[in-house]
Amino acid sequence: MFVLYLIQNDSTLEKYIGVTENLEKRLTEHNNKGKKFTTRKKGLWILIYAEAYRSKQDALKRERKLKKHAGGKYQLLKRLEDSLIA
């Protein structure tokens, strides 16, 4: 199973969208300064939202849509506005 996820840094309030096969491991990597893009000197990455897919291709298509098309990302963030860190 593949998971599209949205995380948010509790200090900088930045948001990040990604795809993984192991959500728990990936979130640990984000918080252990595992990747350059999500490395921050302070704050923790908090899971805000996740979608599960049987197909890796479907998960990647959804990720591309959210990252490339502002409307899709805006709609998702609007729907999650009460779940986001202020």
Predicted confidence band of residue 70 (pLDDT cuts 50, 70, 90): confident
**Dist CA 2 CA 51 (whole Å):** 8
- Look at residue 7 in the predicted model and tell me its pLDDT: 96
pTM of the model: 0.89
Question: If you classify domain 2-79 with CATH, what class do you get?
Answer: alpha beta
Q: Is the dihedral of CA 22, 24, 25, 26 positive or negative?
A: positive
- Give the start-to-end residue ranges of the domains of the chain: 2-79
Q: Render pLDDT for 5-62 as a digit per residue (tens, 0 to 9).
A: 999 999 999 999 999 999 999 999 888 876 666 666 788 999 999 999 999 999 999 9
Give the bridge partners for 20, in sequence order.
3
CA gap 75, 24 in Å, rounded: 26
Cβ 41 vs Cβ 24: under 8 Å: no
